[in-house]
Amino acid sequence: MDDNAHTPLIRIRPSRGWSALRLDELWEYRDMLVMLALRDIKLRYKQTALGIVWVVLQPMMAGLLFALIFGRFLKVPSDGTPYLLFVFAGLTGWQLFAGVVQRAGGSLVSEAKLITKVYFPRLLVPMAAAAAVLLDFLVTCGVMIVLLAFHGLKPSWEMLLLLPATVLTVMLGVGTSLWLSALSVRYRDFVHAAPFMLQVWMYASPIVYTITLIPEHWRLLFALNPMVGIIGLFRTGWLGSAPPAVSMLLIGAGISMAVLLSGWAFFQRLEREIADRV
């Protein structure tokens, strides 16, 4: 009897439509997700003299520069909070979002050799890159806690709001990076456009200025940038300041969810092309 008759045959075919969003398959490859995330962390700080200190220096230097230019010279109001705390509270959320988009957005192109050699859910690549950014975020939060203690501010119950703010930021960042990573496989222009897009997006978000500077009749339109409500939530969590309007939070949460689901669906739709085009 032919032994091949008892050999199981597995055919890997790209799925279509919403059936492509297979969470069970991602769970089966969870060990690979952890492995890729840990590898990204190690590679980033390998052969660096300062190592993870760079995670502290980048937002700290940005915060000090903004505090000097906008706080000291331009006298931008900060709702009665020391300007360095004001801007750094916003930077904690922005650095998380920008880090996810930057590192996950171009992850498929950088992992071309791995993708073309073996099958695994391609979604793991940008997800692992996004997960690796969480370490940087935790370090940044540690710096913020030190700054709060230095200014004599004590923890309050508002810090519980940092959890939903972080979840919304990751949702928006992952969704945006899924769009960018899939599009960058077809058009390399998106790899080069991402830093410029993030720079414009940063100044369109209330990081160095307060939302009260925006005329009231423009604020809902301004809130179509989901980072507006998210950054306001981070400031409330860190500084105990007045929370952003509920309408802004709902708009930000809705857009973040829409970006995540649409990015996921678009990514899965193009997944069958990734190995050929990357």
pLDDT band at 47 (very low <50, low <70, confident <90, very high): low
The pLDDT of residue 114 is: 81
Evaluate whether residue 269 is within a structural domain.
no
Evaluate whether residue 58 is within a structural domain.
yes
Q: What's the chain's average pLDDT?
A: 86
- Percent of the chain clearing pLDDT 90 (strictly above): 46
Evaluate whether residue 102 is within a structural domain.
yes
**What's the whole-number mean pLDDT along residues 46-74?**
83
Evaluate whether residue 276 is within a structural domain.
no
Domain of 48, in residue numbers: 25-264
Evaluate whether residue 79 is within a structural domain.
yes
Evaluate whether residue 277 is within a structural domain.
no
pLDDT, one tens digit per residue, over 115-153 is 777 777 888 889 998 998 998 899 999 999 999 999 998
CA 209, CA 88: separation in Å to the nearest integer?
12
**What's the whole-number mean pLDDT along residues 12-25?**
58
Evaluate whether residue 101 is within a structural domain.
yes
Evaluate whether residue 11 is within a structural domain.
no
* Total count of domains within the chain: 1
Residue scoring higher pLDDT (185 or 218): 218
